[in-house]
Amino acid sequence: MRPLLLPLLLSLLLLPVRPTDAAATPATCQSVSAVYAAKNLDVLQVRYQASGSHLAVCPARPGPSCCSREMETALENRAKTDMYQDLYQHLVPQSTSLASLLTSFQSLALQMVNNSYTRLDTSFKSIYGYSYIENKQPFLQFFEGLRAYLSGGPDTVAGVAKALFESISSRVYVLVMTNYDIDEAYLTCVRSRLDQLKPLGNMPERISQELIRAFVPARRFLAGLAALQDAVQMSPATPLPAQCQKSQLRSRYCAWCDGITNLQPCFELCSASMADCLTQLDSLAEPFDQLLDELVKLSNKIRGPNNLYQVLENLGLRISAGIMDMQERKDHIQTEVAKLCGPPKLKANGSPSIVPPPLPRPGRGRRRRRRASMFGWNYRNSDDAPGPSSQAQERLDELALTAKRSLPASRSLFRPSSLAKRFCKADPAPPGRCWNGTDSAAGYTAPASTVASPVEPPTLAVSQRVANLRAAHRLLAELPKSESFAGF
């Protein structure tokens, strides 16, 4: 046996010596087996081998290695899984936070609309009784329109308000003209002249503008939050580019082939591998941050003057005031209508054309204010009046402040530096060492002349999210800086 051992020993002595702090040995490969098993991988793939020249991604050295080819493949797949897990840990908490903020805003906004309807419905039943009950459909459609608008419906809030006030005007006109035969043709003429007649005074214009100033920013704020949340929620499932898992293998596990299990990747190597994995998501970074910054600015408007709570709280009171003013001016309105549409036909028998009793005539001055309080107009001071209270305003302020404070935490979410900051450890102080992709070293320096890997174009899902983010940002950027919302 000795003659056979001598040539083997000589051949081992002639192998080139690597400038490294460690080399694969049967003993170090045993330590690799332990960490390999901890990853739930097949330890039979860990084998001490006289040469590592067969490796495709990790350094293919002529010297000994702990990695078989199937082990390298298994570690490459494991590196890909680890990267997905890191992305999940990085993105899912932010997705959850954005979803919670979005749901809270949506719920509160819809609750305030519902409460406003409840207040109006309760007080109008008390004030107008059967006349309101028989003509409440426009109000139902109005509040349903507001809810649909907040949820992204196609109608504008100006159109929803206009439909309400046109319907109120024509219906109240019929109700107060009880001794006249108002047919559909005559009523069509009246409807076509409402802009000239202004039967409700300037109340429709004032309320419409206030609704626009409150609802347009609110809807766009909700749409912006939804776009952010959708982009983050989709991202953990985005396919990683082909170069990602190879880059992650070099960073995380190639040291094991040399029997090194106790070195962390050098920070710059880890950062570079993160960048290789985010080439798909990197296109989201700029539009995501731009939209986020606009939402932070808009949070002040959401809780400022003319917010949802302010415009909805006494909406019923203000509409009712317009209706009562129209009743008081009915003779003047009738005269103007006659000029534009001709005199209406008086009923032959002089009996009312409307079965329900006419609308109550309001008092004037102090009597009118007492009536308003009696019928529940003074919503803020009514102990048993249903609907929004100061708690809704406080909750709105609270959510707007939460958005202002928490949204900046998601900035740079899709930039490699953000992942590197969380998952890459700083290089140890000298004489500490780290893994630089090929050896134990004091740090990592990217090669001076490297051919950049071809960048894969964004997937359809990523491209769609980029478009959604840009569209939401554009809508926010279009909001006027002043309180003038002309054109909205």
Region 472-486 average pLDDT: 77
Find the range with the poorest average confidence among 12-21, 166-175, 399-408.
Answer: 12-21
Chain mean position to CA 418: 20
CA distance readout (Å), 407 to 34, 110, 227, 395, 400 = 43, 22, 13, 18, 10
pLDDT at 303: 84
**What percent of the chain has a predicted confidence (pLDDT) above 70?**
84
* DSSP bridge partners of 441: 434
* Position 353 confidence tier, pLDDT thresholds 50, 70, 90: very low
Q: Which of 375, 362, 352 is nearest to 175 (CA)?
A: 352
**pLDDT band at 374; cut points 50, 70, 90:** very low
Helix intervals (H) in 177-281 = 184-192, 194-197, 203-234, 242-252, 254-257, 267-277
Residue-level pLDDT at 452: 60
Give Cα separations from 364 to 199, 320, 321, 335, 409 (angstroms).
19, 14, 12, 23, 56
**Tokens 């005074």, residue?**
201
Mean pLDDT of 25-33: 87
Q: What are phi and psi of 311, to 5 degrees?
A: -80, -30
Task: Residue 51: name the closest of 21, 9, 23 by CA.
Answer: 23
Question: In the predicted model, is pLDDT for residue 379 greater than 60?
Answer: no
| pLDDT value of residue 8 | 37
Spatial distance between the Cα atoms of 425 and 431, rounded to a whole number of angstroms: 16
Q: Is 462 helix (H, G, I), strand (E, B) or coil?
A: helix
Mean predicted confidence (pLDDT) in 197-203: 92
Give the pLDDT mean for 356-368: 42
b/e map 463-487, b = 16+ CB within 10 Å: eebbebbbebbebbeebeeeeebee
Interaxial angle between packed helices 315-328 and 203-234, expressed in degrees from 0 to 180 and rounded to the nearest 10:
150
Q: How far is CA 248 from CA 34, 122, 423, in A?
A: 21, 65, 12
Q: Report the chain's C-alpha Rg in angstroms.
A: 36
On the question of a cis peptide bond just before residue 457, with omega within 30 degrees of 0, the verdict is: no
Judged on CB neighbours under 10 Å (0-12, 13-18, 19+), 140 is exposed
For 36-86, what is each residue's pLDDT tens digit? 999 999 998 898 888 889 999 999 988 899 999 999 999 999 999 999 999
385 or 280: whose pLDDT is higher?
A: 280
What is the Cα–Cα distance from 150 to 157, expressed in whole angstroms? Answer: 9
Alpha carbons within 13 angstroms on the beta-carbon side of residue 202 total 3
* Sign, CA torsion 272/273/275/279: positive
Given a cut of 60, whether residue 245 has pLDDT beyond it is: yes
Residue scoring higher pLDDT (382 or 250):
250
pLDDT band at residue 161 under the 50/70/90 scheme: very high
Q: Tokens standing for 237? A: 């499932």
- Report whether pLDDT(3) > 90: no
| Cβ-defined contacts of 111-115 (< 8 Å, 24+) | 111/388, 111/392, 112/308, 112/309, 112/312, 112/388, 112/392, 112/396, 113/143, 113/146, 113/147, 113/150, 113/312, 114/143, 114/147, 115/312, 115/386, 115/387, 115/388, 115/392
Sign of CA dihedral 19, 20, 22, 24: negative
For residue 422, what are its two tokens?
Answer: 């969380």
Ramachandran angles phi, psi of 156, nearest 5°: -85, 155
Confidence of residue 176 (pLDDT cuts 50, 70, 90): confident
Rounded distance between C-alpha atoms, residue 52 and residue 255, angstroms: 12
Alpha carbons within 13 A on the beta-carbon side of 449: 0
Read off the DSSP letter of residue 265: B
- By mean pLDDT, which of 105-114, 217-226, 425-434 is the weakest? 425-434
- Give the pLDDT score at 27: 82
Q: What is the pLDDT of residue 483?
A: 53
